[in-house]
Amino acid sequence: MARFRRTTKLTQLAIALAVVLATPVTAAGVVLATQLFVPLPAVIPDPEELEAIQFSQVYDVNGELIHTYQQFDQNIPVSPGDIPEVLKEAVIAAEDRNFYGHSGVDIRGTLRALVTDVREGELAQGGSTITQQLAKNAYGIGSDRTIARKLREAVLAAQLDRSLSKEQILFEYLSIVYFGEGAYGIGAAADVYFGKPVNILNASEAATLAGLIPAPSRYNPRADLAVAESRRVRVLDTMLEEELITQQEWQEAVDAPLWLASDGPAPGPHTLVVTPTDEDTRYPWFISYLTRYLADALGDEDLLYRGGLQIFTTLDPKAQVAAEAVTFATLSGIDPVVRTTADGTEVAHTMQMAVTAVEPPTGFVRAMVGGRDFGTDQTNIALKGAGSIGRQAGSAFKPFVLATAFEQGIRPDEVYSGGPLTIGDYSPQNYAGAIYGDMTLRSAMHRSVNTTFVRLMQDVGPDEAVAVANRLGLEVPEIDPARDGSGLSIALGSREVSGLGMASAYGTFATDGVRMPPTPVVRVFAPDGTLVLDRSQPEGEQVLEEATADNVTDVLEGVLTNGTASGKGIGRPAAGKTGTTQDNRDSWFVGYTPTLSASVFMGWDPQPPLDVSYRVKGRALTGGSFPAEAWQDFMVAALDGVPVTDFSEPAPIRDVASEEIQRERRGFSPRAPMASGSTSAGGPYVVDAEPPVAPAPTTTTSSTTTTSTTTTLPSRGGLFDDD
């Protein structure tokens, strides 16, 4: 194995070296052919008009239009004199350092970018010059990854460089380049992100916008503020290296970090990103998730705003309306708590909430609410990595420890102590300081006894429990001794998770251990009816033994009947688990039926310091209080009219008798390959329904109107249909 790894590394190095050596040769050949042998056109073709843009349309499971990707004016006209020098310098530093020195194609820049990409292991820099990008984006060259296309691009770039001044090229480029969120051109970008005309942008704002160009969805400050901030500073550093700004200008800009207006007043110098204009959509939280998903799946967010796509989603309006209703009802009357810090600063702690619903048999995301108010804060706390790092799971993580135990042959009725426990310098406490005696794991789960599950975690192994959670889709980091110590506290939910991850992972228990990756998309079509993306026939992976998953469900059913969520049943077979973090700062309830899995999160934002606990409407914030009540109301409404189905009868936990098998189960030997499973588009619990069909081809739209084609679509026949 070690020799294989060494061989692989050598192979990768050889490939990288070959690419590094071949690229400048190829580029030189292209330039030579361009300059000497390829006849240049006598007249530069007219640039494509923005009127050729076709806006993409989004439909729910019933075929109803719920969103059009046309958030902002596609272009706010600017004149060359409107563009400040600092913006030109930022774009040149970020995109084409040798812009004023090359003739349209830059061999040195291509080589430098490639070396950086190889060193950093990602596409950190682009190899095309600003002139080449202009040729590709505005003059019909296209974006096919072929030598012929690159040659045409180089030919036109050379012609543009001979025919237009550098200032004209840069102006045309800035007038059409895409900055994300539907903003084409620097005029629209300045308005979208900073709410100001382009001519008054400062160095920090200019660096932010320049940094967006290579990957607008990745570097969008509203999507991930930390990533956008890192990118902003990197552009400023390059400007300083290229002597485009002074040391003082650099320092002043670096000292003004990005700050979202939706986060309230900034604590000091800052670069303010304004709250966006309200989107023309009924379901902004779901659309924010969909946008992120499609940007990754399609590899180009630009397609959403000008590709004329027809996007058929998994959103069920019945479930979505129910999620929004319980969020509004639960948060109504919960006012921010203002705390005065030791230095006299006032901090307002606001209660946030997220509700996410996933269909376990298919992975279809049926509803999503990612916060209190999309109009004031677009951070989608139902997701991780979208401006949110997630929240600690609390005791809602315990089912993953239990599943690990079952996979190792430990049974639900195994007896463990619930008494006081100290392991090294770690002394976990039960909720409210309760002390228990010996009890079964089933009873410990119903009562959510912390000391029992830390003992169980010690037996099954923290690394193994984290591995099981990740197989179910939680995406939690491996144990870091510097942060986690022994890792035993993870049993009590010290890891950050997302609402979507929890709803999806718990749904795996409902499907007998078959993991269905969550998706907001059923099908996506191009304007001509070509199928671009198809998730209508989902395929899953058997990540838990069937007996393991079914026994976890059997235990979790008791949480709703005689456990920490007693009285929160929904009149049909259901299972779930409460979760409450230290000092009642965050709380969860995650529960599921065979046909729907939903997570409800509630917590303070920003979180109060440790040892500070706020009551909510006179009650302690626990998973069994507001989150469980909201989950109950949501599930009753969402499942109204859906046939009642029961969980599978659990088979006995398999004996893990031999020492060899025991070692394998604890992860010391390679796991046996997991089986795959698949379902129809409608899921196995309902009558099958045909997935969306290709709509009639749409027509070209202008920059101020949307497509007017009306398409009649069949019902998706999801789990929330009444038939």
Q: What is the pLDDT of residues 45-69, one digit of tens each?
A: 555 544 455 789 999 999 999 998 8
Residue 146 pLDDT: 63
Q: Would you place residue 277 in the very low, low, confident or very high pLDDT band (cuts 50, 70, 90)?
A: low
Higher pLDDT, 548 or 137: 548
Between 687 and 612, the more confident residue is 612
pLDDT score for 223: 81
Residue type, 570: I
Predicted confidence (pLDDT) per residue in 148-203, tens digit: 666 777 777 787 788 888 898 889 889 888 898 878 899 989 998 999 999 999 99
pLDDT digits (tens, 9 = 90+) for 39-48: 444 455 555 5
pLDDT at 50: 45
94-99: which pairs have CB atoms within 8 A and are 24 or more residues apart?
A: 94/207, 94/210, 94/211, 94/213, 94/214, 94/235, 94/238, 95/126, 95/130, 95/133, 95/210, 95/213, 95/214, 96/129, 96/130, 96/131, 97/238, 97/242, 98/129, 99/129, 99/130, 99/131, 99/166, 99/170
Fold of 16-45+72-276: Penicillin binding protein transpeptidase fold (1.10.3810)
The residue among 118 and 141 whose pLDDT is bigger is: 141
The pLDDT of residue 593: 98
In the prediction, which pLDDT does 237 show?
96
3-class SS of residue 310: strand
Q: What is the pLDDT of residue 181?
A: 82
- Whether residue 122 is predicted with pLDDT greater than 90 in this model: the reply is no
| pLDDT at residue number 215 | 87
Write out the DSSP string of 30-98: HHHIIIIISPPPSSPPPPPPGGG-B--EEE-TTS-EEEES--S-S-----GGGS-HHHHHHHHHHH-TT
Question: What is the rounded average pLDDT of the residues 478-489?
Answer: 87
Span 354-359, mean pLDDT?
A: 98
Instruction: Give the pLDDT confidence of 315-348 residue by residue, as tens digits.
Output: 999 999 999 999 999 999 999 999 998 888 889 9
DSSP readout, 561-627? Answer: HHSTTTT---SS--EEEEEE-GGGSEEEEEEE-SS-EEEEEEEEESPPPTT----BTTB---TTTHH
Over the stretch 459-476, which tens digit does the pLDDT of each residue have? Answer: 999 999 999 999 999 989
Helix (H, G, I), strand (E, B) or coil at 525: strand
Identify the pLDDT of residue 55: 82
User: What pLDDT score was predicted for residue 144?
Assistant: 58
The yes-or-no verdict on residue 678 having pLDDT over 80 is: no
What is residue 116's predicted lDDT score, i.e. its pLDDT? 54
Q: What is the domain partition of the chain in residue ranges?
A: 16-45+72-276, 322-665
pLDDT of residue 357: 98
Average pLDDT, the chain: 82
Locate 408 and state its tokens: 């190792």
Lowest-confidence pick of 33-37, 417-421, 707-711: 707-711
The answer on pLDDT for 108 being more than 80 is no
CATH superfamily of 322-665: DD-peptidase/beta-lactamase superfamily (3.40.710.10)
Over residues 386-400, mean pLDDT: 90
Query: Would you place residue 38 in the very low, low, confident or very high pLDDT band (cuts 50, 70, 90)?
Result: very low
Question: CB–CB of 313/61 below 8 Å?
Answer: yes
Q: How confident is the model at residue 3 (pLDDT cuts 50, 70, 90)?
A: very low
Q: What sign does the dihedral 21-26-27-28 (CA atoms) show?
A: positive
Residue 24 has pLDDT above 60, yes or no: no
pLDDT at 405: 98
Residue 665 has pLDDT above 90, yes or no: no
Q: Higher pLDDT residue, 222 or 660?
A: 222
Instruction: Output the pLDDT for position 145.
Output: 57
Model pLDDT, residue 375:
79
Rounded to whole angstroms, the maximal C-alpha distance in the chain is 90
Predicted pLDDT of residue 661: 42
pLDDT tens-digit profile of 641-659? 999 999 999 989 887 654 4
Q: pLDDT (tens digit, 9 = 90+) per residue, 554-597?
A: 999 999 999 999 999 999 999 999 999 998 999 999 999 999 99
pLDDT over 70, % of the chain: 77
